[in-house]
Amino acid sequence: MNKWTELLGGLILLIGAILIAWLSSINSWTLFGKDFNFLSSAWIVLKGGLFWFVALIGLLMIVLGISDLKN
């Protein structure tokens, strides 16, 4: 694909995702009694990803410390 087409497509997708998340948090999007708040879901995934990143960095540091103790 053309580089300008890729940039424009990526920009449209990013702005679309931000708008959908924002509008779903402001308005009440419900279907069959199920709430679709995409901003809340994205925040939960981000917090979970941050938790696992910190936990795995800690595990990596422990493994590297044990490896240094062997030497």
Around 71, how many Cα atoms within 13 Å sit in the side-chain half-sphere?
A: 4
Task: Report how far apart, in Å, the C-alpha atoms of 45 and of each of 41, 49, 54, 55, 62 are.
Answer: 6, 6, 14, 15, 26
Beta bridge partners of 30: 35
pLDDT in tens, 24-70: 777 776 667 667 777 777 888 889 999 999 999 998 888 888 888 87
pLDDT of res. 6: 87
Please tell me what DSSP assigns to residue 28. T
Give the tokens for residue 69.
Answer: 């103790």
Task: Give me the pLDDT at residue 53, please.
Answer: 92
pLDDT of residue 34: 67
